[in-house]
Amino acid sequence: MTSPLPLGPSSPATHLPLLEHFRTVRRTSETLVADLSDADATVQSMEDASPAKWHLAHTTWFFEEFVLGQRMPHYTPFSEPFRYLFNSYYEAVGARHPRPRRGLLTRPTLDEVLAYRETVDEAMETVLESPHTEAELGIIVLGLHHEQQHQELLLTDILHLFAQNPLRPAYALRPVPVAVTDTPHPPEWITFDGGIVEVGSAIDAPFSFDCEGPRHAALLQPYALSSHPVSNRQWCEFIDDDGYQTAANWLSDGWAWVNREGIEAPLYWESRDGTWWHMTLHGLQPLDLDAPVTHVSFYEADAFARWCGKRLPTEFEWEAASAGLALDGNFADSGRLAPMADRQPNVGVLRQMFGDVWEWTASPFLPYPGFQPSPGAIGEYNGKFMCGQMVLRGGSCVTPAGHIRPTYRNFFYPHQRWQFTGLRLADDR
């Protein structure tokens, strides 16, 4: 959630008036489903994923539950059953529809969900046009960042859904490739002195989720990071060297997972006539060998690093290295919706730290020193998930631009790989 927020009437993420920012975020979610059928938006492909329709309704439920229900004493919910259907995991709010059964909600229809959004948006605009407290501002801005998280989840869940279809449908047309004549610059090692560094979100940061703070000191030994994320070409070498069949590469849990699930390549990869293809949001496409590898689990990322004789960076090494870098990258707003090869001429600097792929770190998702979740239901946002998950940094090609920052901590279980997850190598110096 939020740090203490001395917010004015603007959203720091976009420098737009808050009302305009609200409209932009809400329109973006609806644009993402504009070409989906009601069936596309209803089906759930696995327990970790949610239907597009549910994402649209849940992000609306958030504003209705935590803003309108608190701000307007006489507010009448759009539909009382929606309070049960579209709660995600907030125990303090009450009972909810089981997550694995979200795909069985053929009703309400997509049109009814869009009508729900319209009604709640009208009420929210009334709130946004009137004076509000700093605490109310904090919840509204949190709700916008929460919706941007779900925009990314919506796209990754649609990709997983379409990948189960033998027709391999495309969610969007592939942008016309940019003609290039140069080859990507090979990865280099970028060294860092280490020492005591300040990490985490500052108390006066415009916005941060609660798990990004408090800011505190961390001791780093001298280290190095690869200038680029690991590429598909490098991953093919790992496969060709029996990387998935060599127990010495793997953590014990990872080796058990690989054998139990029959894992032989990243998620969505298919070998056709000796050539690797992969399922993308543009349908089945030949593998771009120079693009960052994606859809790999923490177990796979760690195994690849061991195979190289290297390791994954800690989240604090990653954060310290990213300090001062521009928040530029291949985000969802580019329309590419896929990791891209980097062909910039810059050498001796870190590349693609933001966008393209979330980068696994070696750090478990744990509370920072002094962390305290907020009271009430909002305190359930991050704190109760600080067990058994690993931190990722940097954002991906389906992360909304303006939603990412160096302190942002994403987190998933070690076996999960349906998100756009990749890696960057680290080494000791």
- HEC readout, 27-72: HHHHHHCCCCCCCCCCCCCCCCCCCHHHHHHHHHHHHHHHHHHHHC
Residue 177 pLDDT greater than 80, yes or no: no
User: Are 156 and 287 members of one domain?
Assistant: no
Write down the pLDDT at residue 9: 32
> Helix crossing, 110-128 with 18-32: angle to 10°?
170
**What integer is the mean pLDDT of 267-272?**
97
Name the band, by pLDDT with cuts 50, 70 and 90, for residue 382: confident
Q: Is residue 398 part of a domain?
A: yes
320 close to 197: Cβ distance less than 8 angstroms: yes
**Which of 119, 148, 163 marks a domain boundary?**
163
User: Per residue in 205-261, pLDDT tens?
Assistant: 889 999 999 999 999 999 999 999 999 999 999 999 999 999 999 999 999 999 999
User: Are 147 and 292 members of one domain?
Assistant: no
**Which of 145, 163, 181 marks a domain boundary?**
163
Q: Which residues pair with 189 in a beta bridge?
A: 226
The two three-digit tokens of residue 263, written as one number:
């894992």
Write down the pLDDT at residue 43: 97
The 10 Å Cβ neighbour count of residue 424 is 29
Write down the pLDDT at residue 114: 98
User: Are 159 and 194 members of one domain?
Assistant: no
Residue 2 pLDDT greater than 70, yes or no: no
User: Are 353 and 222 members of one domain?
Assistant: yes
Residue 10 pLDDT greater than 80, yes or no: no
Among candidate residues 104, 35, 110, the one with its CA nearest the CA of residue 281:
35
Rounded Cα–Cα distance for residues 326 and 307 (Å):
32
Write down the pLDDT at residue 374: 83
User: Are 194 and 119 members of one domain?
Assistant: no
Number of domains the chain is built from: 2
User: Per residue in 55-73, pLDDT tens?
Assistant: 999 999 999 999 998 887 7
Q: Mean pLDDT score of the chain, rounded to an integer?
A: 92
pTM over the 0.75 mark: yes
User: Are 419 and 340 members of one domain?
Assistant: yes
305 close to 422: Cβ distance less than 8 angstroms: no
Q: Is residue 54 part of a domain?
A: yes
Task: Give me the CATH number covering residue 48.
Answer: 1.20.120
Q: Which residues pair with 359 in a beta bridge?
A: 393, 422
Q: Is residue 177 part of a domain?
A: no
Percent of the chain exceeding pLDDT 90 equals 83
Give me the domain span that covers residue 237: 189-428
Write down the pLDDT at residue 179: 58
Q: Is residue 171 part of a domain?
A: no
Task: Give me the CATH number covering residue 329.
Answer: 3.90.1580.10
User: Are 321 and 406 members of one domain?
Assistant: yes
User: Are 374 and 236 members of one domain?
Assistant: yes
Rounded Cα–Cα distance for residues 161 and 45 (Å):
5
User: Are 152 and 197 members of one domain?
Assistant: no
The two three-digit tokens of residue 27, written as one number:
């329109």
User: Are 107 and 67 members of one domain?
Assistant: yes
Q: Which residue shows structure tokens 């990722």?
A: 392
Per DSSP, 323 falls in state T
User: Are 208 and 353 members of one domain?
Assistant: yes
**Which of 163, 180, 204 marks a domain boundary?**
163
User: Are 299 and 386 members of one domain?
Assistant: yes
